Amino acid sequence: MIHPIPSGTRDVLPDETREVRAITDALRGVFERHGYGEVYTPALEYESVLARGGHTAQGAGSAEAQPAYRVFDESGAALVLRSDMTVPIARVVATRYPNSEPPLRFCYLAHCYRGVRPQRGQPRELLQAGIELIGAPAPEGTAEALGVLCAALDTVGLEGYRIGLGDASLFPSLMAALGVSEQGRARLLAALVSRDFVGLEQELSDLDLGAHERELLLEVPQRRGGPDVLAASNGVVADAAANMRQVYELLEPPVAERVIFDLGLVRSIGYYTGAVFEVYDPALGAPIGGGGRYDELLGRFGRSLPAVGFALGVDRLHTALLGEERGTGASLS
Amino acid sequence: MSATNGLTIAVPRGALFKETVELLSSLGLDTSELSSNDRKLLFEDIGVITMRPSDVPTYVESGAADLGITGKDVLLEQAGHGSADPAPREVYELLDLGYGRCTMVLASKTGPDPAAEALRRLGVMRVATKYPHIAARHLEETGRQAEIVEVKGSVELAPLTGMVDAIVDLTATGTTLREHDLIVREEIVECTARLIANPVAHKLRAPEIDRLLERLRAR
């Protein structure tokens, strides 16, 4: 007899589990060696508590961070299934480590829960592996996190990966510096978050801006590549570029070689404040994971500390490893 | 290295095909087999795969193709609807290619508008379309209640048989609408062919993609 399970969920049987275990054991080993202690937190949390971390002033496209599943407990309180581990760990830090001397280092291997679009093969339940480095400011903290990220990917045997490095504050600062109205800023950011450069150009032509400002707002977020993309920048762009360069200069050469600078990188999760990054591999059509700085999130839980972290999708990592092994992947040339 | 710099491009069969082939040909791609063999799907030597336009975002999103060309109508429809929850495909929209221009319209039978009458007397209008999300989004945004009826073939048939009060469909010249005694009541959105890119290829193949973009913009 066939008994169904919800779409976007699946059973993991021994052959797959063995392979996934090899990956998660390796990741856990790397995290622990770098001083990151593993934590477990409840899959269910109070909605009111997680909501502290879910909203930002930017507000654009943070759907990914919003918990998708709610239930009510016996007293009527709303509980949600966590959609990531960053917000629960912020809660843990504020609650369980109110006076500990930073920096604090945590890692996790945990299932998170997301809403899905029908017919797209998206998972509702996904296994994430990641770290959070609390109380280590930029650029040193960011560089440490990137070092752990590369060590983790190298250890599981991924070969062709690159790290896209951007700055979440770049485009908002650029818009503010060029005098884009509040309303205009939200629309431009929405176009950029949905990766729509044609829409961005249309929105720009609707705004009361000079030709030079328009050109900058369209051209800057399309800049990506080696360190030379940082060179040709001035004004606000130069400030963000200087932040990226500071991080870059602290990276070990094997880590630095993996970096692609991306002035248009914006992540759909709203709590990022500074450096943001994503992991790309030619064997997979979607990012394997990503992260960034969230210097204001902890403050919302009552313990104001700068922080940085990343999460890898274990299934995506597994798929990319298999893709590299088979030599497939559309972009692999 | 071919004119597409080793990138794989998803090319739409159908209404956009001829102009897309001309575009690729103008970039220096040898398109002779592409235009002569309409049964072949995979043209590995020139980095082209062909498919129906609505499949292009699927192949590009998955990374099976680095780039793709498809209509804005396809992208809008696949973004779903519901103002609180738009979920466009995870692809970059890089360039408006300008060709394949047509308009998404709301149309109904000539004479007194049956859709307006249905809305006034029945509180809801029935609308047939091949674009249920675009239709639902437009009617929602303009504050009207509608029953959307999805059809796969000739939409013009639906109002003529009395099954629906209006249609939402794509029109280039309006000839088909006129032939079926339908008139345009509202223009919803202009659609043209768009160049889209896989988000990972956009980063890992940036120089190749930007070179191609530059040549396309310079046309």
β-pair partners for B109: B182
- The predicted model scores a pTM of 0.91
β-pair partners for A2: none
Distances in whole angstroms, Cα of residue A75 to Cα of each of A79, B17, B173: 11, 61, 62
Mean pLDDT over residues A224-238, rounded? 84
57-76 of B, contacting A, C-beta below 8 A: 61-66
Assess whether pLDDT exceeds 70 at residue B33. Answer: yes
Condensed to tens digits (0 to 9), the pLDDT of residues B151-169 reads 999 999 999 999 999 999 9
The pLDDT, as a whole number, for residue B177 is 95
Nearest to A330 among B65, B92, B94 (CB): B65
Q: Which residue has the higher pLDDT, B197 or A57?
A: B197
Mean pLDDT over residues B203-207, rounded? 96
Assess whether pLDDT exceeds 50 at residue B127. Answer: yes
pLDDT grade for B2, boundaries at 50, 70 and 90: low
Report whether A164 contacts A265 (CB < 8 A): yes
Assess whether pLDDT exceeds 50 at residue A331. Answer: no
* Residue A58 CA, distance from chain mean position: 16
The pLDDT, as a whole number, for residue B168 is 98
Condensed to tens digits (0 to 9), the pLDDT of residues A165-196 reads 999 999 999 999 999 999 999 999 999 999 99
> Considering chain B, what is the average pLDDT of its residues?
93
The pLDDT, as a whole number, for residue A64 is 61
pLDDT grade for B128, boundaries at 50, 70 and 90: very high
**Cβ contact (<8 Å) for A198 and B93?**
yes
Tokens of B179: 């032939």
Q: How many residues are listed for chain B in this entry?
A: 219
Q: Which residue has the tokens 């339940």?
A: A125
What residues of chain A lie within 8 A of the CB of B95, using their CB?
Answer: 197-198
The pLDDT, as a whole number, for residue B3 is 67
Q: What is the SS3 assignment for A43? A: coil
**Cβ contact (<8 Å) for B199 and A197?**
no
The pLDDT, as a whole number, for residue A65 is 63
> Considering chain A, what is the average pLDDT of its residues?
91
Report whether A284 contacts A320 (CB < 8 A): yes
Q: What is the SS3 assignment for B34? A: helix
**Cβ contact (<8 Å) for A197 and B194?**
no
pLDDT grade for A237, boundaries at 50, 70 and 90: confident
Assess whether pLDDT exceeds 80 at residue A15. Answer: yes
Interface pTM, i.e. ipTM: 0.89
Instruction: With residue A172 as reference, give the H or E element that holds it.
Output: helix A170-177
The pLDDT, as a whole number, for residue B165 is 97
**B102-109 sheet: strands from edge to edge:** B146-150, B125-129, B166-171, B102-109, B182-191
| Backbone φ and ψ of A288, nearest 5° | -80, -25
CB burial class (10 A; 0-12, 13-18, 19+) of residue A120?
middle
Asked if B82 reaches chain A (Cβ–Cβ under 8 Å), the answer is no
Which of A116, A117, A194, A258 should one mutate to test binding to chain B, selecting the residue with the greatest count of B CBs within 10 A?
A194
Assess whether pLDDT exceeds 50 at residue A333. Answer: no
**Cβ contact (<8 Å) for A331 and B66?**
yes
Mean pLDDT over residues A244-270, rounded? 93
The pLDDT, as a whole number, for residue A61 is 41
The pLDDT, as a whole number, for residue B85 is 53
Asked if A218 reaches chain B (Cβ–Cβ under 8 Å), the answer is no
Assess whether pLDDT exceeds 50 at residue A212. Answer: yes
pLDDT grade for B40, boundaries at 50, 70 and 90: very high
The pLDDT, as a whole number, for residue A63 is 55
Condensed to tens digits (0 to 9), the pLDDT of residues A90-118 reads 999 999 999 999 999 999 999 999 887 76
CA distance A199 to chain B (A): 8
Mean pLDDT over residues B56-80, rounded? 95
The pLDDT, as a whole number, for residue A58 is 38
